Amino acid sequence: MFSSRPEVQTSIPIREIFEVFAAKGFAPELRSDASGNPAIVCDVRGHQTQVLFYSMDGGNVGSMTLSLLYANVVPLEVLNAFNRDKRFLKYYRRESGGLVVEMDCSFGGGVSLEHIVYMAEIWERALDKVFETD
């Protein structure tokens, strides 16, 4: 999918992130977030994921957050156990009781597109764990 020697970048074009999600089969769509900034909405294992971008410079971004909102109420003990055991994710309850799952991805210091693929795979596996009882 990518070159054998990864190119390290401190910001990545949104279109390249979009292509990573498309190659993973996530059916991404380019949209705007509530503030009008570019965002990607995609389907990961049947769950709608929103990809929000930060530290934008033109069409390049310096970080992103993958986010999923889930209407079911999750017990606090389950949230605490998940947060204790997982390194890259935040799992919390909204005031409405619904679930939010988020993963922040900073490109500070440089990352490759291969790293973006790796983060997409972590997200996919994490959703498998989150919804394994569905």
For 69-102, the pLDDT digits (tens) are 877 767 778 778 877 877 778 888 888 777 888 9
CA distance readout (Å), 64 to 71, 75, 89, 119: 23, 28, 13, 11
DSSP string, 84-123: HH-SSEEEEE-TTS-EEEEEEEE-TT-B-HHHHHHHHHHH
For 51-63, the pLDDT digits (tens) are 999 999 988 999 9
Residue ranges of domains in the chain, CATH in brackets: 12-130 (3.30.1460.10)
pTM, to two decimals: 0.84
